[in-house]
């Protein structure tokens, strides 16, 4: 691994660009390669075995570019396949769940933490398990907020309907006297200010993408592979399909225009690679 090599990030769709946004913020000199598996989203509704397979295939696609570290910018894949990726890959791998959990556990004084995300993420209790592993005394309150995802993608970031939806979803959490909420979906940082306005200043919001970027920087420093070139890094975006409004939605998530996003024939790539994606055809079961 060399400092000049890029960092790879994958997600089931476009939401992982909020993680990329934080990586650019904390690691402006790093080259980034993003792959959004938009042809097969969402991952959260798939079986555990299929998510693990998809995660390994996404990783294989990024590995061909000689990346020095892999970031799993997808909550479902982080919950289901992170252990497999860390076991099978020779480069460091981090997901978006554990960094956010660590920050929340360290910040919470009341030991009462809320988690908001998609129905699949909350049902998986991935955040709960990580939090309990850190501190069994902490109480966790999960709240699925599925309607917020299409509202964000539609661009209704400051509309009354979005505010009312947030209030409706978060009302049960606020009644539990929590002092920290983890934004357990990559869509939610886009409306972080609106969520903060609803919950008030007594509740701290944890952006998992921001915490993940900090973790990546720490890892690169420890391994002495932080890119310290004077000029800013480049971002290359690949997707397995170009969904409607891709540029508009991607710009909203990244905070700046997404230029030169390239659609790749991912199915053809997988067929061509076949059993050679990984030596000895690893088992996706672990």
d(CA 201, CA 264): 44
Give the architecture (CATH level 2) of 97-208: 3-Layer(aba) Sandwich (3.40)
d(CA 227, CA 30): 6
pTM confidence score:
0.92
**Is residue 92 pLDDT above 90, yes or no?**
yes
Orientation of helix 97-107 relative to helix 75-88, angle to 10°: 110
Q: Residue 97 is encoded by which pair of tokens?
A: 């769940």
Name the fold adopted by 7-95+210-277: Rossmann fold (3.40.50)
- pLDDT of 274 reads 73
d(CA 123, CA 111): 21
**Active centre residues (catalytic):** 74, 185
Contact assessment for residue 195 and residue 171, using Cβ atoms and an 8 Å cutoff: no
Question: Where does CATH 3.40.50.1860 sit in the chain?
Answer: 7-95+210-277, 97-208
With bands split at pLDDT 50, 70 and 90, how would you rate the model's confidence at 278?
low
Share of the chain above pLDDT 70, in %: 96
pLDDT digits (tens, 9 = 90+) for 228-252: 988 899 999 999 998 777 888 999 9
Among 150, 211, 213, smallest CA distance to 20 is for 213
- pLDDT of 283 reads 44
Contact assessment for residue 226 and residue 217, using Cβ atoms and an 8 Å cutoff: yes
Contact assessment for residue 3 and residue 219, using Cβ atoms and an 8 Å cutoff: no
pLDDT digits (tens, 9 = 90+) for 187-228: 999 999 999 999 999 999 999 999 999 999 999 999 999 999
Work out the average pLDDT over 77-92.
94
């Amino acid at each position: 691994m060399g400092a000049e090599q890029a960092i790879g990030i994958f997600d089931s769709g476009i939401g992982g660009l909020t993680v990329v946004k934080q990586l650019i913020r904390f690691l402006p000199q790093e080259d980034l390669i993003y792959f959004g598996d938009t042809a097969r989203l969402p991952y959260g509704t798939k079986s555990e075995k299929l998510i693990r397979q998809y995660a390994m295939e996404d990783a294989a696609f990024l590995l061909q570019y000689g990346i020095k570290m892999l970031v799993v910018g997808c909550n479902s894949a982080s919950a289901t396949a992170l252990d497999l990726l860390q076991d099978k890959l020779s480069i460091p791998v981090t997901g978006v769940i554990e960094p956010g959990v660590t920050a929340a556990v360290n910040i919470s004084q009341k030991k009462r933490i809320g988690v908001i995300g998609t129905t699949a993420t909350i049902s998986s209790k991935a955040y709960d398990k990580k939090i309990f592993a850190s501190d069994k005394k902490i109480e966790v309150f999960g709240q699925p907020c599925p309607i917020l995802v299409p509202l964000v993608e539609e661009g209704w970031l400051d509309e009354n309907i979005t505010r009312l939806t947030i209030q409706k979803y978060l009302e049960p959490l606020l009644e539990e006297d929590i002092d920290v909420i983890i934004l357990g979906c990559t869509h939610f940082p886009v409306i972080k200010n609106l969520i903060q306005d609803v919950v008030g200043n007594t509740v701290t919001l944890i952006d998992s993408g921001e915490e993940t970027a900090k973790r990546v920087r720490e890892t690169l420093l420890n391994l002495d592979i932080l890119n310290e070139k004077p000029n800013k890094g480049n971002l290359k975006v690949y997707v397995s399909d170009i969904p409607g409004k891709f540029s508009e939605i991607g710009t909203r998530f990244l905070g700046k225009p997404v230029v030169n996003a390239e659609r790749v024939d991912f199915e053809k790539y997988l067929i061509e690679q076949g059993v050679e994606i990984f030596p000895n055809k690893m088992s996706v079961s672990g």
